[in-house]
């Protein structure tokens, strides 16, 4: 009997409007990301994140993105958005992530900032995943000057052939290339998810419902071929 096709879980990040939350949910997203980093053009307040997250149906997870936030502020935000996961996207060390998660009370993702170009081969993802072994998954993003991938894709082929962690591919994804990313990375980790922001936008912080649906369709097409 053939094994069922893998199912790649999908996170749509950087949402700021009710219509975009509804479009992402309607398309079949598994998680919705809210950026709580004031310097980001997609930033929302904790109050706004809680308001938008209240629209989510069962089994769709809100994810709160933090960049070098204090432990008390992180814990306060997580307490105010029911069922939320954290995503640490700054320079947080392993113990800081653990403390800011309430020592395991809240699940969290840890972003790995992978250098662009050939320099990506120098990033020791196996060690990074081991250092942050308490994280639910390691999110792979491109290393650009600002925090966040800046819509850039790093060279996926330079990642190690085997990483003992759940991975979330991010950085420069769009409907046109997400299938290739899934095919390249699915067998290299425990499980693979994908995370998109700029690749489904009409403008920064404003999502395009048609692009969201096209992105989800591209992921499901890649899953069907696995």
Q: Which of the residues are catalytic?
A: 13, 141
Place of tokens 């105010």: 80
Where does residue 60 rank: exposed (0-12), middle (13-18), buried (19+ CB within 10 A)? middle
Q: Enumerate the β-bridge partners of residue 138.
A: 110, 167
Closest CA to 43 of 207, 200, 205: 205
d(CA 21, CA 13): 10
Q: Residue 10: which H helix or E strand, with range? A: strand 9-12
Closest CA to 62 of 97, 23, 43, 34: 34
Cα 141 from chain centre: 9
């Amino acid at each position: 009997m053939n094994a069922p096709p893998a199912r790649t879980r999908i996170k749509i990040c950087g949402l700021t409007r009710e219509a975009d939350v509804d479009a992402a949910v309607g398309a079949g997203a598994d998680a919705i990301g809210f950026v709580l980093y004031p310097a980001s053009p997609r930033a929302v307040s904790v109050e706004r994140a809680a308001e938008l997250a209240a629209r989510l149906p069962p089994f769709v997870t809100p994810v709160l993105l933090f960049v070098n936030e204090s432990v008390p502020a992180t814990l306060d935000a997580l307490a105010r958005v029911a069922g939320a996961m954290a995503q640490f996207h700054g320079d947080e060390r392993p113990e800081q992530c653990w403390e800011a998660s309430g020592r395991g009370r809240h699940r969290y993702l840890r972003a790995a900032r992978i250098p662009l170009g050939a320099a990506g081969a120098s990033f020791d993802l196996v060690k990074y995943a081991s250092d942050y072994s308490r994280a639910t998954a390691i999110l792979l993003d491109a290393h650009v000057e600002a925090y966040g991938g800046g819509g850039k894709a790093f060279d996926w082929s330079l990642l190690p052939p085997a990483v003992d962690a759940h991975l979330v591919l991010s950085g420069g994804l769009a409907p046109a290339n997400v299938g290739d990313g899934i095919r390249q990375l699915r067998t290299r980790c425990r499980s693979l998810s994908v995370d998109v922001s700029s690749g489904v936008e009409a403008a920064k912080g404003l999502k395009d419902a048609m692009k969201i649906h096209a992105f989800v369709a591209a992921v499901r097409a890649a899953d069907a071929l696995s």
